[in-house]
């Protein structure tokens, strides 16, 4: 025999259940409303980099903060976005689906900032990779212009060989590479930065400025140049090997600052990008030499991932193109 429930009590139970359901739905909506851009940004970076540690480095925060943001996002959605095990992170099927949507949200907010026309709205870190030639020519001008345009963007600078910068770009360790070609892999976005001629120079007191030089003349001193494996070094080595002189001493340097300083100190003859030594030539610290062969010009590009990079990376690349053009040689420099 079923117990009889008083009608009034049953009505109260139903009413309470309905209120709880409404409260639960309201709480759910409140939770979803608390999802932040930082959580979505953390989700996208962990997915792209495959690591909480690397995502923390990219976003300049701590690994516990990244873990907290992901955990909060999963709780708010009521979904598991990632599977974590020793040393690896994998997206769940629903995580894969939501990744594209998270990117869309971040891109929409990025576009919102662009439309607002106020660069102060952009904040974050630009992980910038450059070669030494740029350091010794127009990097300072570029960074000054970048800071003026994006005062709340910090720059994390890496100086390295172009080949190493390519590796860093494709494993997402840097956002933007200002580097010389040729390139084994192509990026989805790039800006031409122009080409820069090579030039022979020496300290004037060495006495090589009064005539057209032969390799025998150059062989009187060590020849200071780029590191082994770089295009200028390999072309110079091939050129020297084709000539009858066998006593040429090539001094390859992994540090162009040291190479330039040794040239200023008269410790050798150098074959360097003209833009690196332009001021030294104008001031008389170094003198151009008349030798009738030089390695090919170095051509540069600003390269980045146009599919995932925020708009300030693209704008930084365009700015680099504008700055680099100002350092192209003029007729007066020839």
Say what the pLDDT of residue 20 is. Answer: 46
Token pair of 262, please? 């040794």
pLDDT per residue, tens digit, the chain (334 aa), is: 455 545 555 555 555 455 544 445 554 554 555 678 889 989 988 988 888 888 888 888 899 999 999 998 888 888 899 988 777 888 999 999 999 898 888 888 878 877 777 666 667 889 999 999 999 999 999 999 999 999 989 999 999 999 999 999 999 999 999 999 989 999 999 999 999 999 999 999 998 888 999 888 888 899 999 988 889 999 999 998 887 766 788 999 888 889 999 999 999 999 999 999 999 999 999 999 999 999 999 999 999 998 888 889 999 999 999 999 988 876 555 5
Q: What is the pLDDT of residue 144?
A: 96
Q: Are residues 223 and 304 in the same domain?
A: no
CA distance 186 to 220: 42
The answer to the question of residue 9 being in a domain is: no
Same domain, 259 and 230: yes
Same domain for 217 and 283, yes or no, is: yes
Predicted pLDDT of residue 133:
92
The token pair that represents 312 in the structure block = 């300030």
Per-residue model confidence (pLDDT) at position 280: 95
pLDDT at 307: 84
- Match 């259940």 to its residue by tokens: 17
Which one of 116, 147, 166 terminates a domain? 116
Rounded to two decimals, the pTM is 0.76
Q: How far apart are the first and last CA of the chain?
A: 108
Counting the structural domains of the chain, the total is 3
Same domain, 251 and 206: yes
Rounded Cα distance, 330 and 334, in Å: 7
One domain, residues 190 and 318: yes
Query: Are 44 and 96 a contacting pair, CB within 8 Å?
Result: no
Tell whether 11 is covered by a domain: no
Position 123 scores a pLDDT of 74
Q: Which of 206, 253, 261, 204 is nearest to 228 (CA)?
A: 253
Same domain, yes or no, for 255 and 311? no
Residue 16 included in any domain? no
Find the CATH number of the domain harbouring 66.
1.10.10.10
Is 145 part of a structural domain of the chain?
A: yes
On whether residue 185 sits in a domain, the answer given is yes
CA 181 – CA 305 distance, rounded (Å): 17
Question: Beta 176-180 vs 124-130: how paired, if at all?
Answer: parallel
Per-residue confidence (pLDDT) for residue 9, from 0 to 100: 53
Q: Are 300 and 193 in contact (CB under 8 A)?
A: yes
Place of tokens 């925060």: 61
Please check whether residue 4 lies inside any domain of the structure.
no
CATH assignment of the domain containing 202: 3.40.190.290
C-alpha closest to that of 176 among 104, 141, 126: 126
d(CA 33, CA 319): 37
Q: Does 21 reside within a domain? A: no
Residues 311 and 182 in one domain: yes
Same domain, 105 and 127: no
pLDDT of residue 319: 96
Please check whether residues 38 and 109 belong to one and the same domain.
yes
- Domain for residue 22, yes or no? no
Domain endpoint, select from 96, 116, 136: 116
Residue position matching structure tokens 């800006």: 191
- Smallest CA-to-CA distance from 209 within 269, 156, 149, 296 is with 269
Residues 245 and 208 in one domain: yes
Return the structure tokens found at 155. Answer: 């720059």
The pLDDT score that the predictor gives to residue 175 is 94
91/227 same-domain check = no
The residue behind tokens 């309470």 is 16
Supply the range of the domain harboring residue 124. Answer: 119-196+299-325
- Of 89, 116, 143, the residue that ends a domain is 116
Question: The CATH number of the domain where 167 resides is what?
Answer: 3.40.190.10
3-state secondary structure the chain: CCCCCCHHHHHHHHHHHHHHHHHHHHHHHHHHHCCCHHHHHHHHHHHHHCCHHHHHHHCCCCHHHHHHHHHHHHHHHCCCCEEEECCEEEECHHHHHHHHHHHHHHHHHHHHHHHHCCHHHCCEEEEEEECHHHHCCCHHHHHHHHHHHCCCEEEEEEECCHHHHHHHHHCCCCCEEEEECCCCCCCCEEEEEEEECEEEEECHHHCCCCCECCHHHHCCCCEEECCCCCHHHHHHHHHHHCCCCCCCCEEECCCHHHHHHHHHCCCCEEEEEHHHHHHHHHHCCCEECECCCCCCCEEEEEEECCCCCCHHHHHHHHHHHHHHHCCCCCCCCC
| Structure-block tokens of residue 52 | 């909480």
Do 209 and 291 sit in the same domain of this protein? yes
């Amino acid at each position: 025999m079923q117990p009889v429930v008083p009608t009034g009590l049953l009505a109260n139970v139903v009413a309470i259940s309905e209120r709880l359901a409404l409260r639960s739905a309201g709480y759910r909506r409140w939770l979803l409303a608390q999802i932040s851009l930082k959580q979505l940004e953390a989700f996208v970076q962990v997915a792209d980099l495959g690591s909480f540690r690397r995502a923390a480095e990219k976003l300049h925060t701590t690994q516990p903060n990244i873990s907290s943001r992901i955990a909060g996002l999963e709780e708010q959605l009521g979904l598991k976005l990632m599977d974590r095990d020793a040393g690896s992170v994998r997206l769940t099927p629903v995580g894969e689906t939501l990744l594209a949507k998270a990117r869309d949200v971040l891109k929409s907010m990025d576009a919102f900032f662009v439309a607002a026309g106020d660069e102060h709205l952009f904040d974050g870190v630009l992980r910038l990779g450059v070669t030494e030639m740029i350091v010794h020519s127009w990097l300072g001008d570029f960074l000054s212009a970048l800071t003026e345009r994006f005062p709340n963007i910090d720059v994390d600078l890496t100086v390295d060989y172009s080949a190493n910068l390519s590796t860093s770009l494709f494993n997402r360790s840097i956002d933007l590479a200002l580097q010389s070609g040729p390139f084994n892999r192509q990026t989805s976005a790039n800006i031409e930065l122009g080409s820069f001629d090579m030039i022979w120079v020496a300290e004037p007191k060495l006495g090589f400025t009064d005539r057209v030089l032969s390799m025998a003349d150059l062989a009187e001193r060590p020849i200071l140049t780029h590191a082994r494996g770089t295009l200028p070094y390999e072309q110079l080595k091939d050129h020297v090997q084709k000539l009858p002189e066998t006593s040429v001493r090539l001094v390859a340097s992994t540090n162009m600052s040291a190479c330039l300083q040794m040239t200023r100190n008269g410790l050798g003859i150098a074959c360097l990008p003209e833009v690196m030594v332009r001021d030294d030539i104008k001031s008389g610290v170094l003198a151009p030499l008349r030798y009738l062969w030089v390695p090919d010009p170095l051509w540069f590009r600003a390269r980045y991932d146009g599919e995932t990079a925020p708009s300030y990376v693209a704008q930084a690349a365009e700015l680099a193109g504008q700055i680099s053009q100002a350092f192209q040689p003029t007729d007066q420099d020839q």
